[in-house]
């Protein structure tokens, strides 16, 4: 795990939020939001790879709508495969959070390398040559990787919310004013 992500997910980050300067709270909120974007980016890549491997497994078993579709047929299904949901690819409602996709940051690059260690793009391109056992193993590894990312993402959302709540509390209670922020 990237050092910045580890720091943001540690309980130490939440210690004494009430006594941290407002500038530090904003900085932490920005860092957590950036990390969440990176984690979300790699999570979607993992979900796409999971769906490609799962599609191949379904195709082989005849469970796919058209078992004669080869891997190139996945292009037609890509919009559905890559759509975002908050339940690890199992359907459900969206969180309502706006996710702005920016250039991947340091955390995304490191997590992307970890994802490539699970299944590289070249291995993914040759998915039709994998054995059933290898497909099943790959699905398990991808599921485990994605679950870890989903947990990190939820924790980051919680931290962003806590930081935002503390910032809002300070404005509400008059500890910080718009004029004091504009002066600094």
The series of mean pLDDT values per 10 residues for the chain, 184 residues long, is 90 91 95 96 94 89 57 56 49 48 84 95 90 94 96 97 95 82 60
pLDDT by residue (tens digit) across 93-105? Answer: 444 555 555 678 9
pLDDT at position 34, please?
95
Distance of CA 16 to the CA centre of its chain: 27
Q: What is the DSSP string of 105-145?
A: -HHHHHHHHHHHHHS-HHHHHTGGGS-HHHHHHHHHHHHHH
Predicted TM-score of the model (pTM):
0.77
Instruction: Give the CB-side neighbour count of residue 157, counting CA atoms within 13 A.
Output: 14
Cα dihedral value 87, 89, 93, 95, nearest 10: 60
Kindly state the percentage of the chain with pLDDT values over 70.
Answer: 74
- From the list 46, 83, 53, the residue with the least C-alpha distance to 71 is 53
Residue 127: name the closest of 144, 143, 139 by CA: 139
């Amino acid at each position: 795990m990237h050092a910045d992500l580890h720091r943001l997910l540690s309980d130490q980050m939440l210690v004494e939020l009430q006594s941290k300067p407002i500038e530090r709270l904003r900085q932490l909120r920005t860092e957590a939001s950036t990390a969440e974007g990176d984690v979300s980016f790699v999570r979607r890549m993992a979900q796409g790879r999971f769906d490609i491997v799962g599609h191949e497994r379904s195709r082989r078993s005849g469970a796919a709508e058209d078992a004669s579709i080869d891997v190139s047929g996945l292009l037609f299904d890509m919009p559905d495969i890559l759509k975002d949901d908050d339940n690890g690819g199992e359907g459900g409602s969206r969180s309502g959070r706006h996710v702005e996709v920016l250039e991947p940051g340091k955390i995304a690059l490191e997590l992307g390398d970890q994802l490539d260690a699970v299944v590289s793009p070249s291995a993914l391109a040759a998915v039709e040559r994998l054995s059933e056992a290898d497909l099943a193993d790959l699905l398990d590894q991808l599921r485990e990787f994605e679950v870890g990312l989903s947990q990190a993402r939820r924790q980051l959302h919680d931290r962003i919310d806590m930081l935002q709540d503390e910032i809002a509390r300070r404005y509400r209670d008059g500890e910080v004013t718009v004029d004091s922020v504009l002066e600094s």
